[in-house]
């Protein structure tokens, strides 16, 4: 009798493939491939940090253990799952670092050439380290602080020398809380239904590894400033986020402020309580939030663009699953948030994907009608990211292959961009993008209308955040995602929130300015505006945004 060897199990971790035999854990294989998987418990199933996302072959792994009770597919703890003897491929991905296109910097800010005076809360008096003038440690070593932009999808950290104001190191990685859902509403639901603070603890583990990998003794870090949306910030500070998920969508800090139980929506705790390896008496300061879903990231952004001292009329638009809008100047500021959904981040789109390697980000239709595609990382296309989708819509409009209602003119149901890699675009995708655009435009229209401003009266239109940074401005204007303003007035600033967090870390005066500024912001509730629905319907069409007068100023 001839025995036929079973085809082997092949395991691919972060793109590296190895033959695998039954009985060994994914964590072990990752180690042998040189892929670093975060751990603080030496594979005991306790730290919950060794997260992987299984993209293929979940059925070839042993069933989830008790330690994985908090996870749903496709997530597993790599130390808990071992390969079974069922032949075939298994593929997984650790939480991503580096490969993601994370915006670490800001550009074109008015503060770029006017650094605020160095005035940190942590100072030195001989060998005494003082926080707001109170001794918290004795040391002659350096004094450091951390600024953090805590996003739903990505996290950026900057380590700053508080005596020179210089950045010593930085780090960025995917928010490991993704196992609790990809948007804030899912995270709120997860956090509310899992009382063990798993989202916070997993994040603290990842942050600890990032801090320990900095080239300084973590005990020399005496303060940390956190800018993040209301949900991310409040989860990190162990606050209940239940009320952010329920109308009227308020952070617990806003409710307590209204009840007179606190004087600010900012939060303060210690390094020890945040489970971080920084000095145990280090202060962790959560920048104040503006209102509901207009969070501390938007507040930090206001600091970065120096809104408190701005005479020009400026607007800030940070397009994302939840788009944030700020309009005004030193005299009056309005802010709003609009839930636009994940379409512009590639979610809910058949061939959509985030801005990772392999994403199509440039789309041109040439004279012969053929698509010319630019792909991140110059690799084979794997999907289309948000900025690619905006350019694709714009090109289809320009070449009249799509009308302004989003219908394909030649009766096709789908348009193929790359037949070899099966990348296509279909009318249902257009509908998703139309609705996301409709929500963004309605937000803009309501805020400008409420302020009593026309789009063309804006002097500077800041596009903030990672998506805004990579948007093609002409394409965005053609499809009506942003107002049709002269290019010189549109500034793509990138990650202004981390810049604002750094400013707050380096200057007590600026932090005070931020606290005062936030109190002056009027929150504009879009959902209750009588014209919201009309603006939304109009905004679903793909045509340039009118800059005609809006006449329902208060």
Rule CB under 6 A: say whether 107 interacts with ligand FES. Answer: no
Residue placing its CB nearer to ligand FES in the complex, 185 or 275: 275
Residue placing its CB nearer to ligand FES in the complex, 199 or 305: 199
**Dihedral sign of CA atoms 70, 73, 74, 76 in order:** positive
Cis peptide before 413 (omega within 30 of 0): no
Residue placing its CB nearer to ligand FES in the complex, 31 or 427: 31
Candidates 45-53, 55-63, 152-160, 195-203: pick the segment binding ligand FES (CB under 6 A). 45-53
Rule CB under 6 A: say whether 131 interacts with ligand FES. Answer: no
Alpha-carbon span 432 to 340, nearest angstrom: 10
Closest CB 27 distance from ligand FES, rounded Å: 6
3-state SS class at 463: strand
Rule CB under 6 A: say whether 79 interacts with ligand FES. Answer: yes
**Dihedral sign of CA atoms 417, 419, 421, 427 in order:** positive
Candidates 44-52, 262-270, 409-417, 518-526: pick the segment binding ligand FES (CB under 6 A). 44-52
Residue placing its CB nearer to ligand FES in the complex, 47 or 496: 47
State how beta strands 460-464 and 490-494 pair.
parallel
Rule CB under 6 A: say whether 48 interacts with ligand FES. Answer: yes
Residue placing its CB nearer to ligand FES in the complex, 31 or 362: 31
Candidates 39-47, 82-90, 153-161, 363-371: pick the segment binding ligand FES (CB under 6 A). 39-47
3-state SS class at 494: strand
Tell me which of 77, 360, 373, 506 binds ligand FES, using CB under 6 A: 77
CB 492 within 8 A of CB 469: yes
Rule CB under 6 A: say whether 82 interacts with ligand FES. Answer: no
Residue placing its CB nearer to ligand FES in the complex, 46 or 114: 46
Report how far apart, in Å, the C-alpha atoms of 173 and of each of 54, 155, 280 are.
Answer: 19, 5, 24
Q: Among residues 96, 99, 238, which one has the least CA distance to residue 178?
A: 96
Rg of the chain (C-alpha set): 25
Alpha-carbon span 124 to 139, nearest angstrom: 9
Alpha-carbon span 396 to 406, nearest angstrom: 9
Closest CB 178 distance from ligand FES, rounded Å: 16
Rule CB under 6 A: say whether 45 interacts with ligand FES. Answer: yes
Rule CB under 6 A: say whether 360 interacts with ligand FES. Answer: no
Alpha-carbon span 204 to 200, nearest angstrom: 6
Closest CB 46 distance from ligand FES, rounded Å: 6
CB 514 within 8 A of CB 304: no
Closest CB 96 distance from ligand FES, rounded Å: 18
Q: Which residues bind ligand FES (CB under 6 A)?
A: 39, 41, 43-50, 77, 79
């Amino acid at each position: 009798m001839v025995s036929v060897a079973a085809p082997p199990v092949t395991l691919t971790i972060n793109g590296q493939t190895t033959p695998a035999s039954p009985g060994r854990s994914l964590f072990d294989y990752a180690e042998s491939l040189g892929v670093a998987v975060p751990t603080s418990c030496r594979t005991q199933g306790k730290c919950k940090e060794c997260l992987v996302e299984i993209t293929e072959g979940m059925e070839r792994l042993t069933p989830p253990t008790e330690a994985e009770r908090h996870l749903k597919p496709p997530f597993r703890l790599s130390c808990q799952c071992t390969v079974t003897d069922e032949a075939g491929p298994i593929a997984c991905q650790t939480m991503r670092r580096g490969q993601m296109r994370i915006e670490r910097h800001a550009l074109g800010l008015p503060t770029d050439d006017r650094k605020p005076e160095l005035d940190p809360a942590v100072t030195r008096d001989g060998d005494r380290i003082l926080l707001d003038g109170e001794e918290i440690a004795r040391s002659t070593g350096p004094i450091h602080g951390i600024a953090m932009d805590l996003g739903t999808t990505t996290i950026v950290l900057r380590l700053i020398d508080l005596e020179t104001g210089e950045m010593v190191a930085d780090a960025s990685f995917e928010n490991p809380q993704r196992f609790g859902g990809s948007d804030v509403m899912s995270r709120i639901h997860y956090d509310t239904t899992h009382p063990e603070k798993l989202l916070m603890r997993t994040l603290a583990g990842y942050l600890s590894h990032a801090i320990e990998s900095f080239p300084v003794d973590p005990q020399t870090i005496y303060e940390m400033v956190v800018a993040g949306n209301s949900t991310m910030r409040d989860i990190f500070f162990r606050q209940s986020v239940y009320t952010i998920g329920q109308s009227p969508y308020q952070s617990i800090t806003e409710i307590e402020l209204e009840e007179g139980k606190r004087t600010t929506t900012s939060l303060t705790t210690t390094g020890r309580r945040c489970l971080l390896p920084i000095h145990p008496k280090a202060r962790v300061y959560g920048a104040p939030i503006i209102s509901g879903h207009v969070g501390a990231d938007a507040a930090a952004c206001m600091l970065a663009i120096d809104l408190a001292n701005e005479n020009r009329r400026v607007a800030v638009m940070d397009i994302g699953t939840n788009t944030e809008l700020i309009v005004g100047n030193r005299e009056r500021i309005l802010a709003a948030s609009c839930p636009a959904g994940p379409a512009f981040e590639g979610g809910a789109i058949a061939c959509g994907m985030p801005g990772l390697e392999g994403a199509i980000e440039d789309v041109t239709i040439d004279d012969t009608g053929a698509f010319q595609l630019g792909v991140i990382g110059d690799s084979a296309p794997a999907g289309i990211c948000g900025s690619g989708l905006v350019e694709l819509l714009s090109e289809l409009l320009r070449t009249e292959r799509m009308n302004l209602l989003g219908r394909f003119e030649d009766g096709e149901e789908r348009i193929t961009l790359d037949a070899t890699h099966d990348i296509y675009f279909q009318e249902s995708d257009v509908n998703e993008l139309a609705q996301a655009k409709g929500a963004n435009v309605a937000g803009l229209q309501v805020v400008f209308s409420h302020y009593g401003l026309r789009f063309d009266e804006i002097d500077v239109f800041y596009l903030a955040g990672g998506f805004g940074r990579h948007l093609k401005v002409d394409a965005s204007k053609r499809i009506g995602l942003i107002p049709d303003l002269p290019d010189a007035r549109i500034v793509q600033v990138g990650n202004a929130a981390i810049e604002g967090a750094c400013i707050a870390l380096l200057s007590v005066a600026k932090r005070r300015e931020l606290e005062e500024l936030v109190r002056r912001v009027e929150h504009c509730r879009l959902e209750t505006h009588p014209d919201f629905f009309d603006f939304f319907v109009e905004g679903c069409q793909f045509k340039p945004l009118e800059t005609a007068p809006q006449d329902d100023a208060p």
